[in-house]
Amino acid sequence: MSDEFQAATSEAVRVLRAGGLVAIPTETVYGLAADATNEDAVRKVFAVKGRPVDHPLIVHVADAARIDDWAMDVPAAARTLGATFWPGPLTLVLWRATHVHDVVTGGLDTVGLRVPRHPATLAVLRELGTGVAAPSANRFGRVSPTSAEHVREDLGADVDFVLDGGPSGVGLESTILDLTGEVPTVLRLGAITAEAISTALGAPVEAQAKGPSRAPGMLAAHYAPRARVTIASADAVETIATRAADAGRRAGILAMGASSGDPRVRVFDLGADEHDAARRLYAALRAADAEHVDELFVVLPERVGVGAAIADRLVRAAATFLGDGTTHT
């Protein structure tokens, strides 16, 4: 372990122990972490993000053996999935242990738990000796940060320490799986697919039925840039974007392999495969904002593998525009 790595992780631990907030790198997105046993520190997370207090936070722990510190009546499926996918982009919703603070769970009887896959954050969790409650480290209503720069742009001096672990390797928030019902149910799509979970369990997994999400806080606005987002087919997208530019709009195209022969149209290429696309998506949406794009045409990837999660986020982003000149909050 390099001295620099050691110094940074020790500083993160010191700040967390003092009740401060640390931005932590994870393979999905950066988190805004507080010691999950310190109610005042966790409250600060909500204040800094501007997040409603009934939106629960995920508790991040060092390894699967820590499940029992936070959850009770833990089903065998949780052990299997922990052994298979942790550290990794999977959050398990379990019955919470009685000592877990309401401020962490948003008053629910359940708790979301995950072991993130990033060496610096795992080192912090091991040295800290307890879990951290951490939402994505963006202000409420902005897309999740996938680099330390994104965190600094959003949170500035409101975060006490940013542990810079480089760009997030996955780039989309974790898959959330609810294990408190009869059938394991995916509440949020992510890089770990329902099929992969089902294979690991040797049992069926459900996607959450339509209706308000049981993961409070999964609002469309979380995935939207400031531009109006419209879904377009790969065949038509260049023509449509050019037409929007003709109408005086600042148009952009966001797609895997995006291109345009029209110099007025901004191009946000998500790369050649869905893993690239997941990694680049949120930086691309931020770039569209930075370039003041007001009309963004997106082509959905095929809904296979992590492509399903990307399509899910983009469909939410497209659903957000209110059509009256204002957008999401």
Min dist CB 127 to Mg ion, Å, is 26
Stretch that binds ligand TXA, among 9-17, 79-87, 109-117, 321-329 (CB under 6 A): 109-117
Q: Is 218 in the site for ligand TXA (CB under 6 A)?
A: yes
**Contacting residues for 253 by C-beta, under 8 A, at least 6 apart:** 237, 238, 241, 259, 260, 265, 266, 267, 268, 296, 297, 298, 299
Length in residues, the chain: 329
Q: How many residues bind ligand TXA (CB under 6 A)?
A: 29
Min dist CB 215 to ligand TXA, Å, is 4
Q: Is 260 in the site for Mg ion (CB under 5 A)?
A: no
189 vs 232, beta carbon nearer Mg ion:
189
Q: Is 87 in the site for ligand TXA (CB under 6 A)?
A: no
DSSP state at residue 229 = E
**Contacting residues for 242 by C-beta, under 8 A, at least 6 apart:** 251, 260, 262, 264, 265
89 vs 301, beta carbon nearer ligand TXA:
89
- Residue 162: CA count within 13 A, CB half-sphere: 22
Single residue of 37, 121, 136, 193 touching Mg ion by CB under 5 A: 136
CB atoms within 10 A of CB 48: 21
Nearest residue to 191 via CA among 26, 33, 60, 304: 304
> Please, which of residues 7-66 interact with ligand TXA by CB under 6 A?
26, 28-29, 31, 55-58
Block residue for tokens 């929007």: 244
Stretch that binds ligand TXA, among 102-110, 122-130, 194-202, 285-293 (CB under 6 A): 102-110
The answer to whether the CB of 147 falls within 8 A of the CB of 30 is yes
Single residue of 121, 136, 260, 327 touching ligand TXA by CB under 6 A: 136
**Which residues contribute to the site for ligand TXA (CB under 6 A)?**
26, 28-29, 31, 55-58, 89, 91, 93, 105, 108, 110-112, 116, 134-136, 173-174, 176, 187, 214-218
